[in-house]
């Protein structure tokens, strides 16, 4: 079936001619006819048996109300985080104990076969240890967070969130459906960027793509959770996980505010235009099926993301170990680079090692904290790192203050997207310019925000 150009032109020409002879807009007339037919059929087929309480509408009156909508969203978000932090603590500690117990066994084997020290260092202290960290830090929170999130998704709550947020996004000159793409971003920013396809207008789609990164993905959640625990643990006597949950919720909220601000900025400068209207369907609430929910969220999301992290973490761990053990002069390569970055890092309330960890973590955000820990461990005395308390000690030993932890969270929230997300943006936009902007905008914001926070904190003393 080949329609040559001549035929195409002929047909299109004729079509255009006939179209011009028509009065009124054809599409509208067609729509009207279809809707008439829809109405006719519905009237004959659907009967309301008995007037019944419409629970959905009743719920929606509260869930999407101006007064309660936002507080409820915040409360649910905090609840999900609280359950995640509280629930993940024990299995995390347990997994870490197991993995690091096994590390001893591994080391024993290496010694007994007389393997060279560098091989043991590379494989056990580098590759194995970072893998152990990734699994024990990431698996428990994800195994709790994803099913909870899928639960809200299956319940039908997410479209209500989009409904609530629509007003704000419209004010920012963006599309209300952007919220749905942000929800996907909670799972993975690359998936969030792909989800932006549901937005019809190219302008609003680009805004959604460029700002998706401000929603922390699951690769960054473990960082946020760990930092919240460290931060609150060091700052507040009588720390409890509820405070940690509020802190993480606050960070997410900040991400949303930044999203709105950047969307607004873009729609006033690079991507000028009016927000388009759309109809958003609020589907019925449905009680999710717990069995399939758990299977799906564990298989499709948790294990998928974990595998990705493991694949990236293994080589990264090895590379960091090598960098930490190749000496130039009296210092290791790692220390040299960190030293080079240190001045700038301190200026924005971080340090050289943290910046280096973020740079090395470009392939996947999951490995930022493991790399950081490896770097610190390589520098100092070797220690068992089997709990958050131990992590806190390690960080304090390396000169961390609550400010460092807070800025670490902020930088993690706001900095450049991971390589996978950037590649996805390149694929979706087919433009190097927008891809670069998607990396530059967040990074600049991250640096500015961290600098401001650090400066204010310093002035305060």
Partner 1 sequence: MGLTNQSTGLMAFLNDLQQEAYQKAEGLVALAGNPNTGKSTLFNALTGLRQHTGNWPGKTVTLAQGIVDCQGKKLMAVDLPGTYSLLANSVDEQVARDFLYLAKPAVTIVVVDATCLERNLNLLLQILELTPRVILCLNLVDEVTKKGLQVDKAKLAELLGIPVVATIARENQGVLELKETIRQALDGKIKFNYQCKSYSPEIEEAIQQLEEILKSQLPEDLNTRWLALRLLEGEESLLTANGGRSE
Q: Which residues bind partner 1 (CB under 8 A)?
A: 1-4, 7-8, 10-12, 14-15, 18-19, 21-23, 26-27, 29-30, 33-39, 41-42, 44-52, 54, 156, 194, 197-200, 279, 281, 283-284, 289, 427-428
CB nearer to partner 1: give 41 or 311.
Answer: 41
CB nearer to partner 1: give 7 or 272.
Answer: 7
CB nearer to partner 1: give 26 or 119.
Answer: 26
Least distance in angstroms from the C-beta of 192 to partner 1? 15
CB nearer to partner 1: give 199 or 360.
Answer: 199
Instruction: Please list the residues that pair with 331 across neighbouring strands.
Output: 328
Least distance in angstroms from the C-beta of 215 to partner 1? 21
Specify the DSSP element, H or E, that contains 328.
strand 327-328
Least distance in angstroms from the C-beta of 52 to partner 1? 4
DSSP one-letter code for 198: G
CB nearer to partner 1: give 195 or 313.
Answer: 195
CB nearer to partner 1: give 29 or 240.
Answer: 29
Give dist(CA 132, CA 369) in Å, integer: 12
Give dist(CA 191, CA 393) in Å, integer: 36
Give dist(CA 92, CA 154) in Å, integer: 27
Least distance in angstroms from the C-beta of 10 to partner 1? 7
Least distance in angstroms from the C-beta of 14 to partner 1? 5
- HSE-up of residue 378 (Cα within 13 Å, Cβ side): 31
CB nearer to partner 1: give 58 or 236.
Answer: 58
Give dist(CA 141, CA 194) in Å, integer: 24
Least distance in angstroms from the C-beta of 16 to partner 1? 8
Distances in Å between the Cα of 89 and the Cα atoms of 153, 158, 229, 240 are 25, 27, 10, 12
User: What length is written for the chain?
Assistant: 461
Give dist(CA 335, CA 331) in Å, integer: 6
- HSE-up of residue 183 (Cα within 13 Å, Cβ side): 22
Other Cβ atoms closer than 10 A to 113: 7
φ, ψ of residue 281 to 5 degrees: the values are: -85, 135
With CA atoms as reference, report the closest residue to 272 among 179, 206, 341. Answer: 206
Give dist(CA 406, CA 229) in Å, integer: 11
CB nearer to partner 1: give 9 or 331.
Answer: 9
Give dist(CA 12, CA 390) in Å, integer: 72
Least distance in angstroms from the C-beta of 43 to partner 1? 9
Chain center to CA of 232 = 22
CB nearer to partner 1: give 273 or 283.
Answer: 283
Least distance in angstroms from the C-beta of 434 to partner 1? 15
Give dist(CA 256, CA 252) in Å, integer: 6
Least distance in angstroms from the C-beta of 160 to partner 1? 13
With CA atoms as reference, report the closest residue to 352 among 328, 366, 326, 333. Answer: 333
Chain center to CA of 146 = 12
CB nearer to partner 1: give 16 or 328.
Answer: 16
Least distance in angstroms from the C-beta of 7 to partner 1? 5
Distances in Å between the Cα of 309 and the Cα atoms of 212, 303, 362 are 20, 10, 12
CB nearer to partner 1: give 48 or 433.
Answer: 48
CB distance 342 to 351 below 8 Å? yes
Least distance in angstroms from the C-beta of 289 to partner 1? 7
Distances in Å between the Cα of 171 and the Cα atoms of 197, 251, 412 are 21, 22, 27
């Amino acid at each position: 079936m080949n329609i040559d150009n001549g035929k195409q032109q002929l047909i299109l020409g004729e079509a255009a001619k006939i179209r011009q002879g028509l009065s009124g807009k054809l599409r509208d007339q067609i729509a009207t006819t279809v809707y008439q037919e829809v109405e006719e059929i519905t009237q004959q087929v659907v009967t309301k048996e008995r007037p019944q309480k419409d629970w959905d509408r009743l719920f929606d009156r509260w869930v999407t109300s101006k007064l309660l909508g936002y507080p409820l969203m915040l409360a649910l978000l905090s609840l999900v985080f609280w359950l995640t932090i509280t629930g993940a603590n024990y299995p995390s500690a347990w997994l870490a104990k197991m993995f690091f117990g096994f590390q001893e066994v591994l080391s024993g084997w290496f010694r007994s076969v007389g393997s060279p020290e560098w091989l043991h260092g590379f494989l056990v202290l580098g590759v194995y240890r970072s893998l152990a960290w990734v699994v024990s830090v990431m698996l428990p929170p994800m195994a709790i967070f994803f099913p909870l999130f899928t639960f809200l998704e299956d319940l039908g709550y997410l479209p209500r969130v989009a409904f609530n947020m629509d007003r704000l996004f419209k004010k920012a000159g963006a599309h209300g459906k952007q919220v749905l793409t942000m929800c996907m971003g909670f799972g993975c920013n690359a998936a969030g960027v792909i989800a932006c396809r549901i937005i019809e207008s190219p302008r609003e789609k680009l805004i959604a793509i460029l700002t998706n990164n401000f929603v922390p993905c699951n690769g960054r959640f473990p960082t946020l959770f760990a930092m919240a625990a460290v931060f609150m643990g060091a700052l507040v006597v009588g720390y409890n996980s509820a405070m940690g949950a509020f802190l993480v919720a606050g960070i997410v909220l900040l991400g949303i505010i930044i999203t709105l601000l950047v969307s607004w900025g873009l729609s006033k400068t690079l991507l000028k235009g009016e927000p388009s209207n759309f109809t958003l369907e609020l589907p019925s609430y449905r009680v999710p099926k717990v069995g399939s929910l758990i299977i799906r969220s564990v298989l499709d999301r948790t294990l998928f993301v974990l595998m990705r992290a493991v694949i990236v973490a293994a080589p990264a761990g090895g590379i960091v170990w090598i960098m930490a053990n190749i000496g130039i002069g009296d210092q290791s390569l790692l220390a040299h680079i960190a030293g080079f970055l240190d001045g700038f890092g301190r200026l924005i309330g971080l340090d050289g090692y943290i910046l280096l960890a973020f740079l090395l973590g470009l392939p996947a955000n999951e490995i930022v904290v493991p790399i950081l820990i490896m770097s610190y461990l390589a520098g100092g005395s070797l220690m068992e790192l089997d709990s958050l308390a131990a992590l806190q000690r390690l960080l304090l030993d390396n000169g961390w203050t609550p400010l460092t932890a807070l800025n670490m969270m902020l930088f993690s929230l706001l900095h450049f997207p991971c390589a996978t997300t950037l590649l996805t943006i390149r694929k979706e936009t087919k433009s190097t310019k927008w891809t670069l902007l998607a990396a530059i905008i967040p990074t600049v914001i991250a640096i500015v925000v961290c600098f401001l926070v650090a400066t204010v904190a310093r002035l305060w003393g």
